Amino acid sequence: MRTIKLGVSTLEVPVVAVGCMRIHTLDKPAAERFVRTALEQGANFFDHADIYGGGSCEEIFAEAIHMNDDVREQVILQSKCGIRKGMFDFSKEHILTSVDGILKRLKTDYLDVLLLHRPDALVEPEEVAEAFDLLESTGKVRYFGVSNQNPMQIQLLKKFVKQPIVANQLQLSITNATMISNGMNVNMENDAAINRDGSVLDFCRLHDITIQPWSPFQYGFFEGVFLGNDKFPELNRKINEIAAKYEVSNTTIAIAWLLRHPANMQPVIGTMNTERLKDCCKASEIRLTREEWYEIYRAAGNVLP
């Protein structure tokens, strides 16, 4: 598995992150098989959140991987906090309590990365800074990041937080690529020119923040996958054509499309199917040509200005 540096951290991470949001849907043998397959593929970066399965996903993962000190040193663990029922909460108390719960469920003393999960409208960055300082000084968290935040929200956080922001987890796929399309439709009178995120793609590249695309196969907001979907006939024809050329699956090409972008992104895959997991990992070996990347982009319905 090809690796990249996560932001400005010292972490060398696989280009594909294994999302564990649905691991609670697997029985124990299947969960063990899934985790083992990921490790065999070199995909040792596991993404969690305290709300996934109400916390059960972290517990099931720890059991499936048979967590101990030796195992812990072989994996990179990332989790997220800040979402509560009916609200978001970046208060110092909630962050600290959440991390303690995460560590207990994962059966580990530390997280490699902690992300703030979606923006909290009532965030007091001074409190976040205090929480981060405590988590770093006690060795509970090594690096910090955010999820679904725009440049100004990150800048506000950085005014108070001394630790670097190493990652920003954002929704991005072939069919949900507004952060890419608005950069090519500058000064145009069309929908693609609408800057919905404050040029977050360029901002993250300028500040060495690794973008972690989530839902890389979804269209809309969890409306379904575009692969094999009758709603996207031209896109699927093009993906299948390119997949045949490289003798890989359409899943591999969908991830390879994201990896071809020079921002050095780290897609977070959510499949619990071991064969699809292998197909996702194969994308690290594929480098699409510029022509192929744009062909897929246009086949998704995106129009060049």
CATH assignment at residue 87: 3.20.20.100
Sequence-distant (≥ 6) Cβ neighbours of residue 40 within 8 angstroms: none
Beta bridge partners of residue 13, listed in sequence order: 4
Q: Which domain holds residue 25?
A: 3-299
pLDDT > 70 fraction of the chain, expressed in percent and rounded = 100
User: Stretch 54-82: mean pLDDT, rounded?
Assistant: 98
Evaluate whether residue 158 is within a structural domain. Answer: yes
- The candidate with the shortest Cα–Cα distance to 50, out of 116, 110, 6, 109, is 116
Beta bridge partners of residue 78, listed in sequence order: 47, 113
Do residues 68 and 106 lie in contact, with contact meaning Cβ atoms separated by under 8 Å? Answer: no
pLDDT > 90 fraction of the chain, expressed in percent and rounded = 96
Report how many domains make up the chain. Answer: 1
pTM score of the predicted model: 0.96
Evaluate whether residue 305 is within a structural domain. Answer: no
What is the three-class DSSP state of 179? Answer: helix
The whole-number pLDDT of residue 19 equals: 98
When pLDDT is cut at 50, 70 and 90, the band that residue 92 belongs to is very high
Evaluate whether residue 168 is within a structural domain. Answer: yes
Bridge-based pairing state of the strands 45-47 and 17-19: parallel
Evaluate whether residue 183 is within a structural domain. Answer: yes
Which residue pairs from 155-160 have beta carbons closer than 8 angstroms and sit at least 24 positions apart in sequence? 156/123, 156/125, 157/116, 157/123, 157/125, 157/128, 159/125, 160/125, 160/126, 160/128, 160/129
Evaluate whether residue 269 is within a structural domain. Answer: yes
pLDDT top residue among 189 and 266:
266
Sequence-distant (≥ 6) Cβ neighbours of residue 142 within 8 angstroms: 9, 110, 111, 112, 113, 136
Separation between Cα atoms, residue 7 and residue 112, nearest integer Å: 13
Q: Which tokens sit at 158? A: 């950085």
> CA-CA-CA-CA torsion for 66, 70, 74, 78, nearest 10 degrees?
60
- Cβ neighbourhood burial of 19 (10 Å; 0-12, 13-18, 19+): buried
Separation between Cα atoms, residue 219 and residue 301, nearest integer Å: 12
The whole-number pLDDT of residue 222 equals: 78
The whole-number pLDDT of residue 85 equals: 94
Evaluate whether residue 220 is within a structural domain. Answer: yes
Evaluate whether residue 292 is within a structural domain. Answer: yes
Taking only the tens place, the pLDDT of each residue in 169-215 is: 999 999 999 999 999 999 998 999 999 999 999 999 999 999 999 99
The whole-number pLDDT of residue 8 equals: 98
The whole-number pLDDT of residue 61 equals: 98
Separation between Cα atoms, residue 21 and residue 143, nearest integer Å: 21
Do residues 22 and 215 lie in contact, with contact meaning Cβ atoms separated by under 8 Å? Answer: no
Separation between Cα atoms, residue 185 and residue 258, nearest integer Å: 19
When pLDDT is cut at 50, 70 and 90, the band that residue 115 belongs to is very high
Taking only the tens place, the pLDDT of each residue in 10-65 is: 999 999 999 999 999 999 999 999 999 999 999 999 999 999 999 999 999 999 99
Evaluate whether residue 188 is within a structural domain. Answer: yes
Taking only the tens place, the pLDDT of each residue in 214-261 is: 999 999 887 899 999 999 999 999 999 999 999 999 999 999 999 999
The whole-number pLDDT of residue 236 equals: 98
Q: What is the mean pLDDT of the chain?
A: 97
* Residue tagged 């145009």 (tokens): 188
The whole-number pLDDT of residue 211 equals: 98
The whole-number pLDDT of residue 223 equals: 84
69 has pLDDT over 90: yes
